[in-house]
Chain A
């Protein structure tokens, strides 16, 4: 078990390194193949009509004149121990984790990015709880009474949920509950630590619209998983013991059916933490997704790199947690 955990963590770290290398290469290597020179790259930091001296200075300061592997190494070093840059007379310290400076506003990437994280985490986590509970519950009830009215209706709604995009359901909810009947008007992100009640009130609509999509998916997954599990031999054994059906379903059926759901849940949550782009856009939440959109439209490479790595980190981390959970749930993984 111990070896298993160490191996998983080790693999996760390696994976992150590979992702960072690939992303770094894509953003800083490919432009060179396309003919962009280090001068042009450096020019982006300076603004209009840069003088050759200024370019040369920036190039040297940022290490853009060094070979790429050295630049990557500096980048990694910056991530773990910070870096110092000399833009002007004052040396600027780029704090850990240093993702470098924005092309546009010359600010450090990380502080700007990190203040977006709570918003996205709030959005994703709330929605995740909502969809997990509603999706799994719907799926279980559907599976226990296949072809019943409940099953047919909920699976119909689920199909709609999968097909309807968030920008439709989100906009609809917003129109109904913020404008038509202003129960939840004036939505603005409030930090959880400031006012938990307002935090929840203002996030409830984004949660619902995001969760609707996912819970539909999870309801279908759970239903399929439960149908399969409930026909297993060990379910028959549980019934043969004389257990009441409720216990057969929860302790024996659900326990086994949930395992694959947990895996997918980890992936989905990880993906969302890297930015729930459309939902953030619809509800004007200044989250990681919005940050990414802005960075891309500005062609601000350090920012894009930062947000990409952050997203990758979330996915890898969530998968690591899932792997460890898996071992906790399934003794065959733990003890083999």
Chain B
């Protein structure tokens, strides 16, 4: 019954929806016991996401962005993982729900697409078989023929040419872009209300990346689902996201609407990310401004602000950055940052030192 009702629940971009968020994450922590010590992959992350909206989670390798999404899906390896906090999907807490309940929601209410569509699809089954399987898990009443018709319909929707023929191809017979389209078809076959895309275009070429980003945007407009896009590429989030969450060392260091986050970023790490990347839309700079040092190990996260060893402004915090955990505070309406620098100091530094170099 849900198929047809879901369509235009999407709020117009920009206007903040007033209803309860579809996905609400509070103080999510996912820690792993390993032989080397406790890995704090996700350490207190909170956010809300409404239907029809897109959240971009940005971070480097080891920032905890992928583990966050796996945690929401209940796909983190449960054996040695400790998870705490709250994940509410449409009001239902997924952390206290039993694993079988989460499994029922997986693929039905929330679906996921992965980075490398070649390894993410089973090499021994045809694309059609894999989509049919995804459909029939949650539609046991559908017979094979109906499921196959549905699979062809989805392949057609994501832009696979001659879907009635290609449905019987194996993944290795598809090109990279087509495989990612097929992955998307598989994820959307049950009309999920939440779609999580983990680096969906990182393995693809730019021209194909543009196609896939376009497709995700179109499908979201059509189905009105909530989307989380996880990436290291600020360009990709700028393309898709309404809100952006920047992660560093397992924590959220900055969160806000896409426009303000790019126009007036509050956190020195975000400044660093923006300064590190050469941009086609700006005049050529003589030199890039890298962030010194390397991302932290999640076993030995630096005390205080995890970014302090790499932060050029750590000295301006009277030593608080090394000893005290900065809390996420509202710096502008809807825009939060976890930084010890006083807000006006931050704005001054950004305006005088950072912005001219971007």
Are A and B close enough to touch in the complex, i.e. CB under 8 Å?
yes
Binding site for B on A (CB under 8 A): 232-234, 236-244, 251-252, 255-256, 329-332, 335
Whether B137 pairs with A243 at a CB distance below 8 angstroms is yes
Q: Is the CB of A236 within 8 A of B120?
A: yes
Binary contact readout B93-128 vs A (1 if CB under 8 angstroms, 0 otherwise): 000000000011111100110101001111110100
A240 touches B172 (CB 8 A): no
Chain B interface residue count: which class? Answer: 20 to 34
CB–CB A331/B107 < 8 A: no
Check A240 against B121 for contact (C-beta < 8 Å).
Answer: no
Taking CB atoms, residues of chain A closer than 8 Å to B134 are 241-242
What residues on A are CB-neighbors of B170 within 8 Å? 331-332, 335
Tell me the complex Cα distance, A330–B75, Å. 27
Residues A256 and B120 in contact, CB atoms below 8 Å apart: no
**Chain A contacts of B106 at CB under 8 A?**
239-242
Asked whether A242 and B122 contact (CB < 8 A) given A331-B170, A331-B172, the answer is no
CB closest chain-A residue, reference B116: A233
Give Cα A241 to B137, complex, Å. 8
B108 partner residues in chain A, CB cutoff 8 A: 242
Residues of B within 8 A of A251 (CB): 133
Contacts of A238 in B (CB 8 A): 122
A329 contact from B104, B124, B137, Cβ within 8 A: B124
Say whether A234 contacts B137, CB under 8 Å. Answer: no
Question: CA–CA, A255 to B170, complex, Å?
Answer: 15
Q: Are A242 and B124 touching (Cβ within 8 A)? A: no
- How far, in whole Å, are A233 and B112 apart by their CA atoms in the complex? 12
Measured CB to CB, the nearest residue on chain B to A332 is B172
Please tell me if B173 contacts chain A, counting CB pairs below 8 Å: yes
| Contact, CB under 8 Å: A242 / B123 | no
Complex CA distance for A242 and B105, rounded to whole angstroms: 7
Binding site for A on B (CB under 8 A): 73, 75, 103-108, 111-112, 114, 116, 119-124, 126, 133-134, 137-138, 170, 172-173, 183, 186-187
Are B123 and A234 touching (Cβ within 8 A)? Answer: yes
Residues of B within 8 A of A332 (CB): 123, 170, 172
A290 to B105, CA, bound (A): 62
Chain A residues, Cβ within 8 Å of B104: 242
CB of A131 to closest CB in B, whole Å: 24
Please state if B137 and A236 are interface contacts (CB–CB under 8 Å).
Answer: no
B306 CB → nearest A CB, Å: 28
- Taking a contact as CB atoms under 8 Å apart, the answer to whether A233 and B107 are in contact is no
Q: Given A233-B114, A331-B172, A335-B170, A241 and B107 touching (CB < 8 A)?
A: yes
A240 touches B116 (CB 8 A): no
User: Could you tell me the distance between the alpha carbons of A256 and B122 in the complex, rounded to whole angstroms?
Assistant: 9
9 A–B contact pairs at CB < 8 A?
A232-B119, A237-B120, A237-B186, A239-B106, A240-B73, A241-B106, A241-B186, A331-B124, A335-B172
| Residue numbers in B under 8 Å from A233 (CB-CB) | 114, 116, 119-120
For the complex with contacts A242-B107, A243-B107, 14 further pairs of A-B residues with Cβ separation under 8 Å are A234-B121, A234-B123, A236-B120, A237-B183, A240-B111, A240-B112, A241-B107, A241-B186, A242-B103, A256-B122, A256-B124, A330-B123, A331-B126, A332-B170
The CA of A232 and the CA of B122, in the complex, are separated in Å by 9
Least CB distance, B150 to chain A, in whole angstroms:
14
From residue A254, how far is it (CB to closest CB) to chain B in Å? 11
Once bound together, how far apart are the Cα atoms of A329 and B107, in whole Å?
27
Most chain B Cβ neighbours within 10 Å, of A244, A331, A332, A335: A331
Closest beta carbon of chain B to A103's beta carbon, Å: 53
C-alpha gap A255/B133 in the complex (Å): 15
> In the complex, which residue of chain A has the Cβ closest to the Cβ of B99?
A245
Chain B neighbourhood of A330, CB < 8 A: 123-124
A233-B114, A236-B114, A335-B173 known; A244+B121 contact, CB < 8 A = no
Q: Do B138 and A242 touch across chains, with their CB atoms under 8 A apart?
A: yes
Contacting pair B75 A236 (CB below 8 A):
yes
Interface centre among A243, A329, A335 (most CB of B within 10 A): A243
- Would you call A240 and B123 a contact (CB within 8 A)? no
Given A233-B114, A331-B170, A335-B173: A244 and B120 interface contact (C-beta under 8 Å): no
User: Once the chains bind, are A241 and B116 in contact (CB under 8 Å)?
Assistant: no
How far is A238 from B124 in the complex, measured between Cα atoms in Å?
13
Task: Find the B residue at minimum CB distance from A244.
Answer: B103
> Hey, which chain B residues are within 8 Å of A240, CB to CB?
73, 75, 106-107, 111-112, 187
Give A9 to B111 CA distance when docked, in angstroms.
46
> Which residue of the partner chain A has the closest CB to B189?
A241
With contacts A331-B170, A331-B172 taken as known, whether A243 is within 8 angstroms of B120 at the C-beta atoms is no
